[in-house]
Amino acid sequence: MKYVDEFRDPALVGAVAHEIARAADPQRHYRIMEVCGGHTHAIYRHGLKDVLPPNIELVHGPGCPVCVLPMGRVDDGLSIVDNSDVIMTAFGDMMRVPGTKGTPLEYKARGADVRMVYSPLDALRIAQANPSRHVYFFAIGFETTAPSTALTLMRAKALGVRNFSVFCNHVTIVPAIRAILDSPDMRLDGFVGPGHVSTVIGCRPYEFIAHNYRKPVVVSGFEPLDILESVLMILHQLAAGESKVENQYRRIVPWEGNLPALKAMTEVFELRPYFEWRGLGFISQSALRLSTAYASFDSEVQFEVPGVRVTDPKAAQCGEVLKGVLKPVQCKLFGKECNPEHPIGALMVSSEGACAAYYRYVHHGEPVSA
Amino acid sequence: MCLAIPGQIVAFDAQQPMLAKVDVAGVKRNINIALLEDQEVALGDWVLIHVGFAMSKIGEAEAVEQLRMLRALGEDELAMEEVRGYTFAPEGASVRAGLG
């Protein structure tokens, strides 16, 4: 328990760990997926694996927005900045994600006008400050960030801003979970549900997992104690032969979600018939695009986007890691060709990517022996 | 991008009800509070901020805990950098620019 001194209440953590050990059937191997990349980061950061009995395996899920974005979409998004008088804006997480011809930062170094923003509203402000140029926002994220993009577009429309658009890559978490549940190589016993996504969508959208797939789901906070408590709640359900959706993060997550956020999303977005996810392939109705009412703000309508598909470097096994089939260290490139300084796959870029977190907190940047 | 940053509401803007000024560990910035439109938001309330938008109201103890959590995860500097980086509604200029 390397990081135990940082826990808010080490005694309580110890007590919950003890409860987990008691609740777990020693004859059984448990595979529990934490869907959210924030949880993945916290699990590695706090060394929670060391607190859990060896027969409880935490499997990392697809909840890292830059990790699931296929390289073809990165290329598509970057192709827009090749037009003259265009400014690309994006969150910092996006800036080091490699496309075929480099990362957004490398485009910037080669002279493209690429700017990092901390809020989509900042991107809109840049558009207002540069009326003679077109400004687009390379939008990524699950339901946590989609409402902010929606409200920004509503604002742009209300203000009559004409030189602003969004290259929309917002994805929705539920179809990805369903794809994982339907995947033949995936055997899971339960889910630690995402915390911040659930502040927006609430807990109800997970009910199909409990009802149709008979797997427990516990929406969880991000503290070590939250995550351990959620694991314990899952074990209790499994021991009782139950499968239901529970909300461990009640202090933040309302069961029904955030209604103004859902309303804004409904106003601005519509579901894409399908969308490609890195590692998971094409998943139907798993991503958002701008509705026809917002077509004039849609980068894909305003610009020719090539719609390229790029296969990941063969040796990189991002897909398998993303689905939880492989551990980061089991990828052939992990810590060798692919490291945080020179990421080949997006999972090594984002701090929420399983590979970056594993490299930093478990592997400690040591060379990987062949 | 996925950071949730706790901040305390210290001022409102009568002309722009969608904005509120928050204090995040001493740094003050305007943020958008439209996602809380169906809740009562008062001075002194704590909120979780995500890319410039208040996502939910939280208790003070929870806010303190979230700040501690950011430190424990080594993300506190990133969070402060993000808050300092919100430029969409600078004080004073925001009303003239008609931003919100």
Domain spans in chain B, listed from the N-terminal domain onward = 5-85
**Which pLDDT score, from 0 to 100, does residue A6 have?**
56
Q: Is the ipTM of this complex over 0.95?
A: no
End-to-end Cα distance, chain B: 20
What DSSP designation does A296 have? G
Closest CA to A187 of A208, A213, A206, A218: A213
Report the candidate in A47, A361, A103, A343 with the shortest Cα–Cα distance to residue A334: A343
Q: Would you give the end-to-end CA distance of chain A in angstroms? A: 28
Q: What is the CATH number of domain A67-172+257-302?
A: 3.40.50.11740
Using pLDDT thresholds of 50, 70 and 90, give the confidence band for residue B95: very low
Q: Residue B81: its chain A contacts at CB < 8 A?
A: 118
Averaged over successive runs of 10 residues, the pLDDT of chain A (370 residues) comes to 55 92 96 94 89 94 90 96 96 92 96 97 98 98 97 98 98 95 88 96 98 97 94 98 97 96 98 92 96 98 91 80 86 90 83 87 63
Q: Which residues of A touch B32 (CB under 8 A)?
A: 121, 148, 151
Element housing A324 (H / E): none
Q: Which pLDDT belongs to residue A188?
A: 94
Q: Is the dihedral of CA B86, B88, B89, B92 positive or negative?
A: positive
Measure the CA angle with vertex A94, ends A88 and A98; round to 5°.
100
Q: Determine, for residues A258 and B55 on separate chains, whether the beta-carbon distance falls below 8 Å.
A: yes
Per-residue pLDDT reduced to its tens digit, A274-312: 999 988 889 999 999 999 999 999 999 999 999 988 887
CATH code of the domain occupying B5-85 = 2.30.30.140
pLDDT of residue A341: 84
Q: What pLDDT sits at residue A4?
A: 41
Query: Which chain B residues touch A46 with a CB distance below 8 Å?
Result: 72
- Segment B3-36, tens digit of pLDDT: 899 999 999 988 889 999 999 999 999 999 999 9
A125 chain-B contacts, CB cut-off 8 A: 87-88, 97, 99
- Backbone phi and psi for residue A121, each to the nearest 5 degrees, phi listed first: -65, -30
Amino acid present at A368? V
Domain borders along chain A are 67-172+257-302
* pLDDT for B55: 95
Contact A149, A168 (CB under 8 A): yes
Give the separation between CA B24 and CA B31, rounded to whole angstroms: 11
pLDDT in tens, B36-86: 999 999 999 999 999 999 999 999 998 998 888 888 778 889 899 999 999
Q: Could you tell me which residues of chain B have a Cβ less than 8 Å from any Cβ in chain A?
A: 1-2, 4, 32, 34-38, 48, 50-53, 55-56, 58-59, 62, 65, 68-69, 72-75, 81-83, 85-89, 97-100
Identify which has the larger pLDDT, A252 or B95: A252
**Spatial distance between the Cα atoms of A366 and A177, rounded to a whole number of angstroms:** 33
Nearest to A148 among B50, B56, B68 (CB): B50
pLDDT computed for residue A29 by the predictor: 96
Q: How many CB atoms lie within 10 A of CB A241?
A: 7
